[in-house]
Amino acid sequence: MRFLENGPQLPDELLTARDEGRVVFFCGAGVSRERAGLPDFLGLAEKVIEELGASADSPARKLLNESAEIGKGVGIDGLISADRIFGLLEREFLTHDIEAEVAKALQPPPDVDLSAHRILLDLATTPKGKVQLVTTNFDRLFNDASRNEIRSWMAPRLPDPARHKDIDGIVYLHGRASDEYSNAEEGSFVLSSAQFGRAYLAEGWATRFFKEIMARHVIVFVGYGADDPPVHYLLEGLDRREGQPSQLYAFQPGVPDEAAEKWRYKGVEAIAYPEENGSHHTLWESLAAWAERAKSLEDWYQSVIQLAGQGPASLQPHERGQVAHVVSTEEGAEIFSKGDPPPPAEWLCVFDPARRYARPWYATLRYADTSSQRTFVDPFELYGLDSDTVPTGIGPDDHSAKREIPPDAWDAFATNPSDRQNLKDENFPAFRGHWSTHVPRLPLRLSRMNDWLANVADQPAAIWWAAHQDGLHLDVQGWISHTLQHRKKDVSPVIRHAWEYLFDAWRERLDGGSEWHELQEAIKRDGWDSHAIRKYAALHRPYLKKADRFSSEPKPPGEKEGIRFQELVSLKVGYPKPYFRMDIPGEWLAPAIPELRKNLEYALLLETELAELHGHDHGLRDISPIIPDDEPDNLRRNHQRTEGLSGSVLSFASLFEQLMKMNIDSARREFAVWPVKDDTIFARLRIWAGGKARLVTPESFGEIILGLSDDAFWDSHHQRDLLLALKERWHELPNESRQDIEQRILEARTTKWASEEDKKYEERRAWETLTRLQWLVDNGCEFSFDLGAETEKLRRAAPDWKPEYATTAAESLEGRSGRVETDTEYSPLLNEPIGYILTKARELSGRAEDDVFTKRDPFAGLSTERPVRALSALTHAARQEEYPQWAWKTFLGFEARKNDKPRFSALIAERLCRCPDSAISDFIHDASSWTSRKSKGWISGFPETFDRLISKLIGVLRSQPSAGGSGLLRGNKKPDWVNEASNSPAGEVAEALFKDPGIGGLKKGDELPREWLAHAEALLSLTDDSRRYGIVIFSLRLNWFYLFDQTWTEKHLLSAMDGEDMDDRNAFWRGFLWGQGGANQELYLRIKPNLLAIAGEQNLLECECRDMLAATILSGWIRENEKTRERWVSDKEMRYVLLRAGDDFRVNILWYLDRWSKDQETDSDDTDNKRWSDMPAEFLRNAWPRQKIARTPAASRRLCKIAFSDTSRFPELAKIILPPLTKIHRKEQGYYSIQYVTFPADSSIIRQ
C-alpha cells in the first residue's frame, strides 16, 4: 500500500505487524541527516579528521579521500567503510580525543528540526504505548524529540528481548553522546573496526541482541544504506536462506529492482522509493502519513472508508490500494462493513482481479444506436491498484486481444496469511459430525466482507458482479437473501428477483460426467428398470444456468430508475447433453416418455419465466423443425438440432415415433395429455404428430390445426412442420375442416407487431397468406375457392410478392454454416465487347440470390482461363484512365497467375509499369506479391522489364508512403517486424530481388551487380516502416551480404545495428535472428559486442526472437576460431551475458545446450560424439555463473533435467550442478527416481 501516489509501497504484512506491536525500528544516520542536518558516518569521519588536525599524509585522511574517489568512479558508495577510517585514526590519536570530537561534531543547533525523529517515535510506539526503537546514531535527538520521558538503553546494558516488558524505550546500540555533547556517555562509542569487532564478534553482545530481536519481531531499517557498517555487522553471519518469509525490511532509494538487488542477499526485503536530487522527501512524507495512521488506526480506517464512499472510479490507484489494504485486515474489513452509508458496491470490481483485468470494451450503453454514443472503457483505468502489474493496452479494433490475470494479483476474496492463522474447527470440513454435512464457515475477515456485500446487495453493481461469478459461499447467499427480505424493505423487485434467479442458477446441478457413468454402469450391471428410467430422465432435466453475455461489459450499470433485469443478470436454460448414447429398449419407452415429457413441461416453465424477465421469447420460438431439410454436403445444422431446447424436443419426438411403431395405444394415451394451450414446444409437437395418420384421425387433425392460437398458426418457425403436415393429410380432411382451414388462411393473422404501421401490417398479412396458399397448391393441395381471384385481391396489399417466393416457404429457418463456394463461371463475359467486360463482371459478381453459400466471381474465371482477354479488358480501361482495384487484385491473384508463361508474365509487368503511381498504390500489395511469387520464372528472359518493374514499385512506395503499410494490423501492440515485413509491399519487393538469376551463381570473391545493389539501396532509402521491412528481409541474409560485399553491408545494414533508431535496430535483429542467426566467423566476431549487449535489453527479449538469440550466442560459445582455437564467445563473455540477460535467457541457453548435445551425439562419429557429450559439463563448469542471481527455480529445474537425462555422466553432472541449485516450487518440480527411472540396471552408478 502507498500513502502517496509516488511513495514507497508498504507490504500489508508490515503494516499489520506494526499495528500489532511486533515491529522494531532500527534507525541509522540518514534519520538525523535528512531534516536535522547532521552528518552521515563518512561525513562524521571527515569532520573529526579536520578537528583533530590530521596531517595531509595521514593514512586516515588518505583513505577518506580514496573512498570518495572510488565512490565517484564506480557509482557505489560504502566500498571503503568508515569504521576502517576511525580504526586508522586510533593509531594516531587517543580514543578519548576521537570520541570527544565525534560528540562535538554531532551537537545540533538550537533550532534543529526534529520532525523526522518524532515521526519514527510515533511509528515505534505500539498500541499499548511501548516504544520499540533501536538506533546506531550517537546523537540524543530521539530523546530531544520525545514528548514524554522515555527510557534509554546503552551498551553494553541492553534490554533482554526474551523478556517482553524490557523492549520499551530507545536503545542506543553503539553508544550515546553526553548531555553537553562533550564525549560518549557511560562508556564509549562503537566507531572503529576494532570496536565493531568486539561488539559483533569477539564479545558478540550486539549480535546476540539483534538475533534475539529478530527471532521475536519484524525489523525495519530506516536511514541505512545496504553497505553501511552497522548493517554489515548486524547482518553478518545470519543464517538467512532464500525463500524464508521476510522479517527484515529496509527503505532504499531507487527503482524497485535495483533496490531489491542491494538488499536481497542480506535477507532483507527492500522497500523502494524515488529519490529526487538527493532528497528523500517522498520517503519522509510517506513515513509521516504512516505515523498519523499509527496514532489512531481506527480514525485512519474511517478516513479511508470515507474516501471509498466516492466510489473507486473517482480515486487514484494508490487511494484504491489503501482501501484494498483496509479490507485485507480483519479489523479493517469489520469497519468497512459497518460504513454508514456503506462504500458502494462498485468496489467489488476493485476487489476482484477478474474485473480489474477484464477486457476493455464499450460501456453499458449497448442499446445506443451508434458507437459514437458509447464510451470505450478500460476497466484497469477505473479499478486498477498501484500494486498491480500494468497490462498491455487494448484498443477498440483489437478484437482478438486478451488479458491474462497475473498470478500474484491481489484478490480481496482469497484467504491471506492472516486469515489462515486465525482459522478454527468451524472453518474446516469434518469426517463426521456437524461439519461433515454443512459447509464450513468463512474466515472472520471474509465474513465481514459478506456483511458489506449484503448491505450493498440492493445496488445494481452488486448483482452485476455476482452474475460474473460461478458461485458464492452458501453463507453469503443466505445472508444476502435474509438482508433483502427482512432488513431492506424498499429494494427494487428487479434487484430482488435477479438475486433469487441467480441463486437458483447456482443451486442447479452442472453437467457432470460421473452421474452418466454411474447410470451406464448400473444399466450394464442390472439392466433397465424403473430406477434407471427415473435417473435417465433426471439427468436430462433442464436447469437454469448463468449465461456469458456480460463477459464483454467493462463496468457495471449505475443506479437508475427502471433498471431492467437483463442489465443485471443474463440467464438461460441449460439442457444436459449425454456424455454417450444410451438407447432405451422398446419395452421401457412407455414409462420413459412421460418422464421426458415432464422435462419439456419444466423447460417450458423456465423458458417462459426467462422470456418475461428478458423481454423476449427467442429461446422458445427458435426450435428446429422436427422434419429436417435435405441439406447439401457443405452445410451443417447438426449442432443446432442436437443442442439446447431443439435437441430436447427432437430427441423426444424421435422416441415418441419409436413408441408409435411399437405400441400405438400407449402413444395415443401419451399424446392425449400433451398441453394444448402452449404456443411453442407442444404446439410444434402436436402439429408434427397430427401429420401421423396412425396416431391422429383426420377429424382430430383438423381440430388440432384449427385449435392453434393465431400466434402459433402463423409462427414462421412452426411453418415447415405445419405445411408438411397439411400437405400430408390435406386430401384426408373432411370437407368442413378443410374449408375452415382455407378460411383461416384467407383471413390471415390478426396480431400486429408493436409500433408496426398499418400499411406494413396489411402487406405482411397478405404476403404470408399468398406464400402459404401458393406453396400448398404447388404441392398438390386443391382449394374450394377461386385462388386466382383471391391472389389478385391479396397482391393489392403486397404488390412485390411473386409466386416463386413460395418455393422456400417450407424450408427450415435454422441457422446454417458451411463453406462459401466460389463460382467462377465466366461464359457471359465471352460475348461482351472488351470495353464492357469489367462492367459486366462487376454486375454479375457477389453472393447468389438463391444461395448465400455461393459467391460469384466471373472475372476470376476469365483471368484464370482466358488471361489475355482479361488483361485486354484491364488495358482498355487503363486507356480510359481507369484502374479498378478489384479487377487488378483479382487478376494478380495466386490462382489466376500460377500457370502463366514467362512472356505473358513480362507483358503483365510492362502493363504495371505503365500505370500511374496513384493507381498502383491501390493494389500495391497484390502487385508486389505477384512480383515476389512469379518473377523467378521470367526474369532471365526479360531482365530490363524486371528492373523497370522493381523501380516502379519502389517509386510507388516513395511517392505514396501510406500505401506501404503491412497487411498485418499492428494496432497498439509492439511491432512484429518479421511477420509485418513478410506481409508488406517493401518486404515482397525485397524478396523478389533475390529471385534475380544474376546473383544466383555468385562465388566467394565475386561482386554483387551494381544495378542490383542500386535497387536494394533504393528500398533502404524509403521512409519509416517500409525501410525497416527492407532491413528485416536483408538482415535475414546478412551472412550472404557480408560474404560478397563487406563495405556495402557495413554502410547499409550494420549501420542499422549500430544506429540510434531503436526501431531500425529491432528490425535488424529480428531479421537476423529470424534467419537463425547464421554468420561466418568474421561476421560473428564483428557483431558479437552488439549481440551480447542486446541480450540484456528486455524489450527485445520479450519478443519471439529471444529463443533464437540464446541459440545464436550459445553457438558462438561452441564454435572455435579457425586459427587460435579460441571460442568465438569466451567463457568469461558467456558468463557476463548470462548474468545480464535475465532468467528466461539463462533457461533458454540450458535448453539448447541439452538439446544440441543429444542431437549431435546421435549424428556424429565417436570423436565428435565424445566432444558433444562433454559439452554440458564443460559449459556448466567454466561458463555458468556462480552468482546467486543465477540460482533460480526455473534454472534449477533445467539443470536437473540436464543431469538426469545423461545416465553415463550423471555423477559428474550432479557434482557440478548441486552448488548452483535452489529450491524448486512444488507446483513446478518434477520427481526423479535415480534407481527406477534413470538407472534401472546400473547399480554402480547409483553407488557413485
By mean pLDDT, which of 95-104, 164-173, 473-482, 603-612 is the weakest?
164-173
The residues facing 125 across adjacent strands are: 131
Q: Are residues 698 and 766 in the same domain?
A: yes
Q: Is 1180 part of a structural domain of the chain? A: yes
For the segment 407-425, the average pLDDT, to the nearest whole number, is: 90
Q: What angle do CA 957, 958, 962 make, to 5 degrees?
A: 60
Distance CA 120, CA 496 (A): 51
> For residues 892 and 1068, what is the distance between their CA atoms, to the nearest angstrom?
31
Confidence class of residue 765 from pLDDT cuts 50, 70 and 90?
very high
Nearest residue to 249 via CA among 34, 26, 29: 26
Is the pLDDT at 537 greater than 50? The verdict is: yes
Q: Is residue 310 over pLDDT 80?
A: yes
- 74 and 31, same structural domain? no
CATH number of the domain where residue 168 is located: 3.40.50.1220
391 and 348 in a single domain? The answer is: yes
In a domain, 440, yes or no: yes
- Give a yes or no: residue 1012 inside a domain: no
The pLDDT tens digits of the residues spanning 325-338 come to 999 999 999 999 99
- Range of 83's domain? 39-105
Domain assignment of residue 985, yes or no: no
Summarised one tens digit per residue, pLDDT across range 841-888 is 999 998 766 666 788 999 999 999 999 999 999 999 999 999 999 999
Asked if 242 and 1223 count as a contact pair (C-beta separation under 8 A), the reply is yes
DSSP state of 623: P
Of 1061 and 1234, the one with more pLDDT: 1061
pLDDT at 682: 96
pLDDT tens string 428-442: 988 988 888 888 999
Residue among 1163, 1160, 1237 nearest 1205 (CA): 1237
Find the mean pLDDT for residues 503-511: 77
pLDDT at 667 over 60: yes
Neighbours of 1230 (CB within 10 A): 9
- Distance in angstroms (rounded) separating the CA atoms of residues 377 and 242: 42
Asked whether residue 215 falls in the same domain as residue 347, the answer is: no
Number of folded domains that form the chain: 6
pLDDT at 109: 94
State whether 716 and 802 are in the same domain: yes
627 and 641 share a domain?
Answer: yes
Residue 1239 has pLDDT above 50, yes or no: no
Q: Angle CA(487)–CA(493)–CA(494) in degrees, nearest 5?
A: 125
Eight-state DSSP code of residue 199: I
In the three-class reduction of DSSP (H, G, I as helix; E, B as strand; rest coil), residue 513 is classed as helix
Position 3 scores a pLDDT of 95
Q: Answer yes or no: do 81 and 216 share one domain.
A: no
The secondary structure of 876-941, three-state, reads: HHHHCCCCCHHHHHHHCCHHHHCCCCHHHHHHHHHHHHHCCHHHHHHHHHHHHHHHHHHHHHCHHH
The predicted structure's pLDDT at residue 971: 63
pLDDT confidence of residue 435: 86
pLDDT digits (tens, 9 = 90+) for 624-660: 999 998 765 444 456 678 889 999 999 999 999 999 9
Residue 228 one-letter amino acid: D
User: Stretch 268-285: mean pLDDT, rounded?
Assistant: 91
Q: In which order are the strands placed within the sheet that holds 23-27?
A: 152-154, 169-172, 132-135, 23-27, 218-222, 248-253, 269-273
pLDDT at 359 over 60: yes
Specify if 901 maps to a domain.
no
In angstroms, the CA 985 to CA 981 distance is 8
Bond before 341 cis per omega within 30 degrees: yes
pLDDT of residue 1227 exceeding 50 = no
In a domain, 1035, yes or no: no
Domain boundary at 105, 126, 156, which? 105
Angle at which helix 330-337 crosses helix 297-308, to 10 degrees, equals 50
pLDDT of residue 937: 84
**The C-alpha cell that represents 676 in the structure block:** 394444448
Final residue of a structural domain among 77, 105, 133: 105
> Could you tell me if 540 and 428 lie in one domain?
no
Q: What share of the chain is helix, strand, coil (3-state, %, to 5)?
A: 60, 5, 35
Which residue among 80, 105, 130 closes a domain? 105
Residue 67, phi then psi, degrees to nearest 5: -60, -45
| Sequence-ordered strand ranges (E) for 991-1135 | none
Task: Answer whether residue 1116 shows pLDDT above 60.
Answer: yes
Statement to judge: residues 1157 and 1203 lie in one domain: yes
In a domain, 522, yes or no: yes
Residues 1108 and 1197 in one domain: yes
Residues 1160 and 1171 in one domain: yes
In the predicted model, is pLDDT for residue 1235 greater than 70?
A: no
C-alpha cell at 570: 443474463
The reported pLDDT for the residue numbered 246 is 56
Whether residue 587 sits in one domain with residue 572 = no
In tens, the pLDDT along 1068-1105 reads 999 999 887 778 999 999 999 999 988 877 555 455 67
Is the pLDDT assigned to residue 300 strictly greater than 80? yes
- Determine, yes or no, domain membership for 990: no
Rounded Cα–Cα distance for residues 161 and 207 (Å): 13
pLDDT in tens, 704-740: 999 999 999 999 999 999 999 999 999 999 999 999 9
Residue 177 forms beta bridges with which residues?
184
Q: How confident is the model at residue 229 (pLDDT cuts 50, 70, 90)?
A: confident
1238: pLDDT strictly greater than 50: no
